């Protein structure tokens, strides 16, 4: 079950980062709507 959890978190984080990249970068208003998780630090590093 631990691999399922890790895989899900990576999938969600990857999808969020990809969506932000396609849009040309993360917007502050969009990041606020994202649930707490490993995606937010990744978005900050992508800038």
In a domain? residue 28:
no
In a domain? residue 31:
no
Q: In which domain, by residue range, is 1 found?
A: 1-18+40-47
Helices 2-22, 39-46: axis angle to 10 degrees equals: 30
Backbone angles phi, psi at 17, to 5 degrees: -65, -40
In a domain? residue 30:
no
Q: Is residue 11 within a helix (H) or strand (E), and if so which, with residue range?
A: helix 2-22
pTM of the full structure: 0.38
Q: How many other CB atoms are found less than 10 A from the CB of residue 3?
A: 7
Taking only the tens place, the pLDDT of each residue in 9-29 is 888 887 777 776 666 655 555
In a domain? residue 27:
no
pLDDT tier, 47 (very low <50, low <70, confident <90, very high otherwise): very low
pLDDT at 31 over 80: no
């Amino acid at each position: 079950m631990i691999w399922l959890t890790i895989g899900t978190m990576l999938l969600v984080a990857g999808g969020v980062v990809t969506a932000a990249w396609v849009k040309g970068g993360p917007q502050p208003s969009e990041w606020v709507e994202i649930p707490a998780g490993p995606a937010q630090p990744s978005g900050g590093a992508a800038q």
